[in-house]
């Protein structure tokens, strides 16, 4: 069998066992914060190094090689039981296609498929499958067509050679217990485990055998197989591949988990299977990729059942008619599995990544080129705003080894007639992942919420509608330590120079477009800490605290947000509720104040006209399909306030405190799977009408 499937596993495993700026010297306080943070983090970094420290390993010892030989003999046995000559089983599964950003938790479903299969085996090794049920739904427009083996299951642990995607993805990788596999692989007897399956009702003792290729530059298997201690039969396979194994240049990785279970107390047959394939553009690091994930469960075995003639005489994989497939009575809904497990990587896939990292050490393991063009978003290539005029940029990403990424960007703003640049280095597989950033004349925006995506803002500025930035420029360095999870908790220390921006595009600054607000210029040293936690009802909260020092003024700030999203995976039906609040101390510079009003906060009120050193804001919105997926209706509301106390704003700042609670209500339309939105909002208590054109938040990071 050369099919590649792919499914969910919920089994459990129990183990036995001196910085300076040109023309000035920075204040002592920022440097003190920097050193203090490093002192605090040294024990944590040392602990992380201890976790990753190498321990003596006995590869290819006699016991490991003997296990390989036993497993090979079991696989090569033509007759397992003289009374066992055939079986028939049922497989039920899901295949999802979605897009993701590695630097965030956001994953967007594009298409979902649900499959029902009848699987057959007849001695000595005649394997057949028939698709008896198939239905799908597109959440976003796509013309993707899967390889046939993405919709089927693996019945023979891949045979002697592993082949995926009809050979377009992986071609002829030798199985770790295939013929003469000792010549190609190294083996390590890693552990003795107890694996439970069947809802935890059954347990089996196994050996974990880790496998690595002897030649990392050749196509090969990387991962673990788990062998039954009594018979050396394969119970589980968790693995990925060397980069040379990938035929498709778009492939980042393929991870596969296969689980077998003991049936009738005699026969090790497929039980659960899962696969995850990730692709990116081979020449462009755009911080976005596509993932295909398949999950299947196999059971309902009938032993010594006859194979139907139509199946036996047909191809390896056949299908009933389209009408019969559509009419199949699925036991579960099309999105039931997704609503239970979500789009995050399963424990099986995370385990495969961790194990491969241990086996490969620091070797580069992606199928993508280690050197690619880099754009963090479309606006890194081109954008337009009143502080820069037209901006052009480009970048390069380099991955010298596993889990280490170097990215550099350069750009030029025609309006300012100045260049800018940035460099970032991220490295380490966890549990603490450091990221170093250096940036020169980087564009920054005031306020706690982005007013518009860079693309929408560029269109609005070019057309003279408005500029939704309150820009200033910063140059400096930043060191961040995170928990290794996108969007997770992190601590950072930074030292940067802040400079005010000017309007370089308007004939009459302050009239053609909003005036550019000045900032308190100087050298800032700051420590930031962000903590993310889950909330009841699948909510998510983020709390960020900052302690900083700008020239002679020390300050602190606190910003928190809680968000709940309730949505239907089948259509654009969604309800979102969020609450945010923040405060800064009296010595905080003007650029750290909170801004409310207009799009993204209180539509219908003057844009960012409410300024505060304290604020709160509650928003809710609902999207309901009208003619799904093309058009949906939207309703929304917001209420909030800002407070200034006795703070005096810079002379060129418009607006002030909200003078009490302000609110907004509105309606709108969403087009094309809720990608583009057109809203009409009304400000309550002193506001007016406002038309807001925007892109759905989940797509803004790419723009």
The two three-digit tokens of residue 109, written as one number: 């479903």
**Identity of the highest mean pLDDT range in 16-20, 25-29, 137-141:** 137-141
At residue 679, the pLDDT reads 96
- What per-residue confidence (pLDDT) applies to 263? 86
Say yes or no: 586 and 643 in one domain: yes
* Mean pLDDT across the chain: 86
Question: Strand 12-15 relative to strand 267-279: parallel, antiparallel, unpaired?
Answer: unpaired
Question: Do residue 319 and residue 441 come from a single domain?
Answer: no
Is residue 398 included in any domain, yes or no?
A: yes
pLDDT of residue 431: 77
In a domain, 135, yes or no: yes
Q: Sorting pLDDT into bands at 50, 70 and 90, what band is 199?
A: low
**CATH at residue 644:** 2.40.160.50
Question: pLDDT per residue over 349-358, tens digit each?
Answer: 888 888 888 8
**512 and 654 in a common domain:** no
Does the pLDDT at position 502 exceed 50? yes
State the Cα–Cα distance between residues 34 and 39, nearest whole angstrom. 9
Q: Examine the pLDDT at 185 and tell me if it is beyond 50.
A: yes
Mean per-residue pLDDT, 538-557:
94
Pair 139, 85 in one domain: yes
Please state the separation of Cα 45 from the chain's center in Å.
Answer: 25
Q: Are 627 and 481 in a shared domain?
A: no
Tokens representing residue 202 in the block: 């059954």
- Give domain status of residue 64, yes or no: yes
Q: Say if residue 348 is in the same domain as residue 458.
A: no
Query: Can you tell me the mean pLDDT for 217-245?
Result: 94
Residues 334 and 189 grouped into a single domain? yes
Tokens encoding 686:
């002193």
Query: In the listed set 312, 328, 360, which residue is the last one of a domain according to the structure?
Result: 360
228 in any annotated domain: yes
Q: What percent of the chain has pLDDT over 90?
A: 61
Cα three-residue angle 478-483-487, rounded to 5 degrees: 80
300 is a domain residue = yes
Domain ends where: 301, 331, 360?
360
In a domain, 62, yes or no: yes
Judge if 279 and 408 occupy the same domain: no
C-alpha torsion angle, residues 372, 378, 384, 388 (rounded to 10): -40
Round to whole Å and give the CA distance between 326 and 259.
29
- At which of 500, 519, 538 does a domain end? 519
Lowest mean per-residue pLDDT among 147-161, 420-434, 594-608: 420-434
Say if 5 falls within a structural domain. Answer: no
Q: Do residues 197 and 130 both lie within one domain?
A: yes
Closest CA to 263 of 307, 225, 299: 299
Question: How far is 252 from 246, CA to CA, in rounded Å?
Answer: 9
Which residues sit opposite 466 in a β-bridge? none
Q: Is residue 52's pLDDT more than 80?
A: no
pLDDT digits (tens, 9 = 90+) for 98-146: 998 876 667 888 899 999 999 999 887 889 999 999 999 888 888 888 9
Q: Is the pLDDT of residue 209 over 70?
A: yes
pLDDT interval class at 200 (50, 70, 90): low
pLDDT for position 321:
93
Q: What is the pLDDT of residue 3?
A: 40
User: Structural domain of residue 462, as residue ranges?
Assistant: 370-519
- Count of domains observed in the chain: 3
Task: With a cut of 80, say whether residue 53 has pLDDT above it.
Answer: no
One domain for residues 123 and 210: yes
Asked if residue 529 belongs to a domain, the reply is: no
Residue 11: pLDDT over 50: no
Please tell me the predicted confidence (pLDDT) of residue 335. 86
In a shared domain, residues 290 and 218: yes
Same domain, 316 and 435: no
């Amino acid at each position: 069998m050369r099919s590649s499937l792919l499914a969910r596993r919920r089994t459990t495993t129990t183990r036995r066992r001196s910085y300076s700026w040109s023309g000035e010297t920075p204040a002592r306080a920022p440097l003190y914060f920097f050193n203090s943070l490093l002192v605090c983090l040294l024990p944590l970094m040392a602990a992380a190094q201890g976790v990753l420290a190498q321990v003596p390993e006995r590869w290819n010892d006699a016991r490991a090689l003997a296990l390989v030989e036993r497993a090979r003999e079991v696989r090569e046995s033509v007759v397992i039981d003289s009374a066992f000559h055939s079986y028939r089983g049922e497989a039920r599964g899901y295949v999802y296609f979605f897009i993701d950003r590695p630097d965030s938790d956001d994953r967007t479903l594009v298409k979902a498929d649900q499959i029902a299969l009848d699987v057959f085996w007849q001695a000595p090794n005649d394997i057949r499958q028939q698709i008896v049920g198939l239905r799908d739904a597109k959440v976003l427009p796509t013309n993707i067509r899967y390889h046939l083996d993405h919709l089927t299951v693996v019945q023979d642990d891949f045979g002697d050679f592993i082949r995926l995607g009809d050979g377009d993805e992986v071609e002829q990788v030798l199985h770790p217990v295939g013929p003469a596999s000792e010549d190609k692989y190294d083996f390590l007897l890693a552990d003795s485990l107890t694996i439970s399956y069947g809802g935890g009702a059954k347990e089996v003792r196994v050996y974990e055998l880790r496998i690595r290729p002897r030649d990392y530059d050749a196509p090969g298997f990387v991962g673990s197989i788990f062998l039954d201690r009594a018979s050396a039969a394969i119970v589980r396979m968790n693995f990925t591949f060397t980069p040379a194994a990938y035929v498709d240049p778009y492939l980042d990785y393929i991870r596969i988990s296969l689980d077998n279970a003991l049936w009738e107390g005699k026969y090790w047959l497929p039980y659960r299977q899962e696969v995850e394939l990730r692709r990116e553009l081979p020449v462009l690091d755009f911080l976005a990729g596509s993932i295909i994930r398949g999950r299947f469960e196999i059971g309902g075995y009938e032993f010594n059942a006859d194979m139907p003639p139509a199946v036996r005489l047909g191809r390896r994989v056949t299908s009933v008619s389209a009408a019969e497939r559509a009419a199949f009575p699925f036991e579960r809904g099309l999105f039931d599995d997704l609503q239970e497990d979500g789009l995050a990587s399963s424990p099986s896939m995370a385990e495969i990544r961790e194990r491969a990292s241990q086996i490969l050490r620091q070797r580069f393991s992606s199928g993508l080129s280690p050197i690619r063009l880099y754009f963090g978003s479309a606006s890194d290539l081109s954008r337009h705003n009143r502080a820069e005029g037209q901006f052009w940029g480009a970048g390069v990403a380099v991955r010298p080894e596993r889990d280490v990424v170097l990215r550099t960007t350069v750009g030029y703003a025609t309006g300012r007639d100045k260049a800018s640049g940035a460099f970032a280095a991220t490295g380490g597989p966890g549990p603490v992942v450091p990221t170093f950033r250096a940036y020169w004349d980087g564009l920054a925006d005031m306020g706690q919420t982005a007013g518009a995506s860079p693309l929408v803002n560029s269109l609005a500025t070019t057309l003279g509608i408005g500029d939704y930035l309150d820009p200033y420029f910063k140059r400096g360095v930043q060191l961040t330590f995170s928990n290794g999870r996108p969007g997770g908790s992190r601590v950072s220390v930074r030292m940067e120079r802040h400079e005010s921006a000017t309007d370089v595009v308007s004939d009459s600054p302050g009239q053609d477009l909003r005036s550019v607000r000045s900032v308190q210029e100087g050298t800032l040293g700051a420590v930031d800490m962000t903590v993310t936690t889950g909330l009841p009802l699948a909510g998510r909260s983020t709390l960020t605290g900052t302690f900083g020092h700008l020239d002679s003024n020390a300050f602190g700030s606190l910003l928190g947000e809680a968000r709940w999203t309730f949505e239907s995976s089948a259509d654009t039906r969604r309800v979102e509720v969020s609450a945010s609040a923040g405060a800064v101390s009296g010595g905080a510079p003007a650029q750290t104040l909170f801004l409310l009003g207009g799009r993204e906060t209180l539509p219908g009120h003057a844009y960012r006209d409410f300024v505060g050193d304290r604020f709160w804001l509650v928003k809710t919105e609902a999207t309901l399909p009208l003619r799904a997926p093309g058009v949906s209706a939207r309703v929304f509301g917001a209420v909030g306030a800002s407070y200034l106390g006795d703070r005096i704003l810079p002379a060129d700042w418009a607006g002030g405190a909200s003078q009490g609670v302000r609110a907004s209500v509105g309606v709108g339309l969403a087009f094309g799977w809720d990608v583009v939105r057109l809203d009409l909002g009304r400000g309550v208590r002193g506001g007016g009408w406002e038309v807001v054109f925007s892109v759905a938040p989940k797509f803004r990071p790419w723009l």
